[in-house]
Amino acid sequence: MERNSKPRILVVDDHEDNIELLRARLEARGYHVDGAPDGQAALEQVDRSVPDLILLDVMMPKMDGMEVARRLKARMANKELPFIPIIMQTALDTTEHKVEGLGAGAIDYITKPINFAELEARVSSQLHVKKLQSELEARDKELSELNDKLRQISLTDGLTEVENRRSLEERLHDMWQHSVRLHEPIALVMCDIDKFKAVNDEYGHQAGDAVLKQFAKVLKDEAREIDRVGRYGGEEFLLILPGTVLDAAVTFAERLREKVAEHTFTYSGGTLRRTMSCGVAASPHPLVKDQEGLLRASDEALYVAKETGRNRVIRFDGGDFKAHMQSKGNDTTDVEKPVSKPAAGTGSAVPGGPPKSKASAEASRPTA
């Protein structure tokens, strides 16, 4: 709070002699003193350099002390200025004036002619209050920054540093609401690395981890700024594409699939290649009526991509999807069925529904 480690006091008085007198006394006590001859000059001085305390005369030309206090108080209230204790110096020793001064924003008052011992005691005690207040504010700020950091951590996947499932679910909720409100499309691409277990089995878990990190980066690099990319389960990732219709999402997923197939993954022992499968769904669509239905649709499309050979992109309303579902004896309008449990990745484990989907099979897998 100080410059040259001295507390700064602004003395506002229309009598130059008073300023000089207070300056001499206060500087002898180790304070740095600035002076201002009227209210307007005081406000300008505060803008130039914020003092730690203000000794404010009440009766002054141009703008009186009450008005200065009111203006500073308003700026402190909206955090334009830090807390500055204001001590009014008043010749008007009436209760009415003291009450008005305190109401205007002064924290204390001292009557003229000034008793210096009293003044020094009040200045010192108010600077102490100011110091405590500053420490409190600093701790508050630290706490709020720590809170932000904690929230960030709680929404990030520790391994891949993309969003985790919790974050994706929060985002999807918000983005779904937004798309419904503004009648804008929204698409989901659910991706899963093909035969990933074999990476762990053949090259070790660390190689698996390295592949997951690089895979997440490929997705992130291909996605737009407004898209959300996150790890939905073990080696399953979800992309939320706002403002995107189904055809565009399928084109995007195809590009992603090619990028992954072309990518050379590195790990400490060498390099390897992997493919991925994707399920794509979008809204608005007659087969999708809610957020859970959209998620389930992308998940089921991913399941069909796996079942029909992997390294594929399947759209949830496409011929391949329908044909496969029918061959399994499933009703392809399943995504329309009301969900009993609104949790993500509930799959379609209803009687007569398709087998347990990828996401539901992996729902219990930790992601961070």
Phi-psi region of 30 (alpha: psi -120 to 50; beta: other; left: phi over 0): left
Residues 242, 227: contact at Cβ < 8 Å? Answer: yes
SS3 231: strand
Residues 263-322, interacting with ligand GH3 (CB under 6 A): 306, 310
The nearest distance, CB 368 to ligand GH3, in angstroms, is 9
| DSSP-derived secondary structure letter, 264 | -
Helical axes 39-48 vs 65-77, angle rounded to 10°: 30
159: Cβ contacts below 8 Å, ≥ 6 apart: 209, 212, 213, 231, 368
Among 230, 234, 242, 347, binds ligand GH3 (CB under 6 A): 234
Q: Can residue 157 be called a binding residue for ligand GH3 (CB under 6 A)?
A: no
- Nearest Cα neighbor of 291 from 340, 343, 243 is 343
Nearer to ligand GH3, 70 or 365 (CB): 365
Catalytic residue status for 137: no
Residue 151 contacts which entry, Mg ion, ligand GH3, none (Cβ below 5-8 A, type-dependent)? none
Q: Which stretch binds ligand GH3 (CB under 6 A): 18-26, 108-116, 168-176, 193-201?
A: 193-201
Interface residues with Mg ion (CB under 5 A)?
Answer: 192-193, 196, 235-236
Handedness of CA 297, 300, 302, 304 (dihedral sign): negative
Considering 163, 169, 235, 300, which one is annotated as catalytic?
235
Q: Can residue 197 be called a binding residue for ligand GH3 (CB under 6 A)?
A: yes
Q: Can residue 209 be called a binding residue for ligand GH3 (CB under 6 A)?
A: yes
- Alpha-carbon gap, residue 187 to 288, rounded angstroms: 11
Residue 212 contacts which entry, ligand GH3, Mg ion, none (Cβ below 5-8 A, type-dependent)? ligand GH3
Count of positions on this chain that bind ligand GH3 (CB under 6 A): 17
The nearest distance, CB 174 to ligand GH3, in angstroms, is 27
Nearer to ligand GH3, 133 or 200 (CB): 200
- Measuring CA to CA, how many Å separate 367 from each of 95, 174, 241, 362? 67, 21, 21, 10
Binding site for ligand GH3 (CB under 6 A): 159, 192-197, 200, 205, 208-209, 212, 234-235, 306, 310, 365
